[in-house]
């Protein structure tokens, strides 16, 4: 039943909202039992099951005055789908927990669900369940499940002599966040990149099939994520600045804000690009760019030296 445009969550009620949310989520062939029971039941075919969870907290990970409900839905789905991508897999099922104030417009929740569903449709994934409760601010908790037909690509497989490669847009979301943080809305292309990431969804599986030795998605910052690969693999990683062609919008924002635009690329997150290591340049698939190298040792350097700028987002 259509709700009045000014209806709040309190007006609609938990089960009324759940009924409207469920209607927005199409179910794929892997779903035997979807939303509406105590738990979903999925059909698992050959391969490995991969599972990940993420939280988004209003005021910490998003602001409603900076992004629409649909934007937040896209972002919440993208960051979870990207985790499966980074394992070399493809997501197929998700659950959502939504906590929100009682006076939140019900339309916000429905628009959030539409954005979430639209992002999931890009990889053919289904929302198979979730939960809804009251809170003082909007909190989104998502669990995603997927499958790897190849062996999962983990963070600990990089070895000395490997090359470091990147695929996907990098630094654009950070540039957009910097713009919003200064009270501006342009360049619009960067603001939209922050509001709606564009993860390279097919690339994870392609990298796994090509023999990637280690892989991670860039959620918190390129150098920070490279640090995770280096630590887990027991190696050192060097990133080359000259491997990047800075896009004009990043150059423009850097000039306007008096910031080196490479900081957006090296320290920025939320684009959900993929960072991977390969045994040789010959293994690097089309669409990936070699941006560095792996050697014996520990830690991450830029052009062979310690980097003094921001390396990524820290949660605490």
CATH code (residue 143): 3.30.1330.10
Q: Is 219 annotated as a binding residue?
A: yes
217 has binding-site annotation: yes
Check the annotation: does 289 bind a ligand: no
Instruction: Please give the structure tokens belonging to residue 301.
Output: 């350097």
Same domain, 142 and 214: no
Of 236, 223, 229, residue with least CA distance to 313: 223
Looking at the fold, whether 59 and 133 belong to one and the same domain comes out as yes
Whether residue 115 contacts residue 74, with contact meaning beta carbons closer than 8 Å, is answered with yes
Integer Cα distance of 71 and 103 in angstroms: 20
Any binding-site annotation on 37? no
Q: Are residues 144 and 14 both part of a single domain?
A: yes
Looking at the fold, whether 187 and 107 belong to one and the same domain comes out as no
Q: Is 298 annotated as a binding residue?
A: no
Within-domain flag for 214:
yes
Distance CA 209, CA 95 (A): 28
Phi-psi region of 14 (alpha: psi -120 to 50; beta: other; left: phi over 0): alpha
pTM of the shown model: 0.88
pLDDT at 276: 98
Phi, psi at 53, each rounded to 5°: -135, 150
Q: Which domain holds residue 78?
A: 9-148
Rounded Cα gap, residues 63 and 58, in angstroms: 6
pLDDT 10s digit of each residue in the chain, 316 long?
Answer: 566 767 887 887 766 777 777 777 777 777 776 676 555 676 777 678 888 989 999 999 999 999 999 999 999 999 999 999 999 999 999 999 999 999 999 999 999 999 999 999 999 999 999 999 999 999 999 999 998 888 899 999 999 999 999 999 999 999 999 999 999 888 999 999 999 999 999 999 999 999 999 999 999 999 999 999 999 999 999 999 999 999 999 999 999 999 999 999 999 999 999 999 999 999 999 999 999 999 999 999 999 999 998 888 766 5
> What is the phi/psi pair of residue 233, to 5°?
-95, -10
Answer whether 271's CB lies under 8 Å from 224's CB: no
Is residue 220 annotated as involved in ligand binding? Answer: yes
Cβ neighbours, 10 Å, residue 96? 25
Would residue 155 count as lying in a domain?
Answer: no
Say if 156 falls within a structural domain.
Answer: no
- Backbone region of residue 79 per phi and psi (left: phi > 0; alpha: psi in -120 to 50; beta: other values): alpha
Which of 96, 114, 148 is the last residue in one of the domains?
A: 148
155 is in an annotated binding site: yes
Q: What is the CATH number of the domain that holds 212?
A: 3.90.650.10
Assess whether 108 and 194 both reside in one domain: no
Number of domains composing the chain: 2
d(CA 151, CA 158): 15
């Amino acid at each position: 039943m259509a709700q009045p445009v000014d209806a709040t969550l309190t007006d609609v009620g938990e089960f009324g909202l759940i009924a409207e949310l469920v209607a927005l989520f199409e179910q794929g062939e892997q779903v035997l039992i979807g939303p509406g029971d105590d738990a979903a039941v999925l059909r698992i075919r050959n391969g490995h099951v991969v599972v990940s969870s993420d939280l988004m907290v209003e005021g910490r990970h998003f602001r409603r005055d900076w992004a629409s409900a649909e934007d937040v839905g896209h972002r919440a789905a993208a960051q979870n789908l990207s985790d499966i991508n980074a394992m070399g897999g493809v997501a197929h099922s998700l659950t959502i927990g939504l906590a929100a104030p009682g006076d939140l417009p019900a339309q916000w929740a429905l628009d959030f669900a539409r954005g979430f569903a639209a992002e999931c449709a890009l990889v053919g994934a289904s929302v198979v369940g979730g939960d809804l409760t009251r809170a003082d601010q909007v909190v989104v908790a998502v669990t995603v499940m997927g499958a790897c037909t190849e062996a999962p690509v983990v963070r600990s497989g990089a070895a000395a002599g490997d090359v470091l490669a990147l695929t996907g847009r990098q630094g654009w979301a950070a540039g957009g966040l910097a713009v919003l943080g200064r009270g501006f809305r342009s360049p619009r292309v960067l603001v939209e990149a922050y509001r709606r990431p564009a993860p390279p969804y097919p690339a994870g599986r392609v990298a796994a099939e090509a023999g990637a030795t280690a892989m991670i998605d860039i959620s918190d910052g390129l150098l920070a994520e490279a640090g995770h690969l280096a630590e887990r693999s027991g190696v050192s990683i060097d990133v080359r600045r000259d491997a990047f062609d800075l896009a004009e919008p990043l150059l423009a924002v850097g000039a306007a804000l008096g910031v080196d635009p490479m900081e957006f690329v090296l320290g920025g997150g939320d684009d959900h690009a993929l960072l991977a290591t390969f045994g040789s340049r010959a293994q690097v698939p089309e669409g990936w760019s070699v941006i560095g190298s792996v050697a014996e040792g520990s830690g991450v350097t830029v052009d062979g030296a310690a980097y003094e700028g921001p390396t990524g987002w820290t949660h605490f």
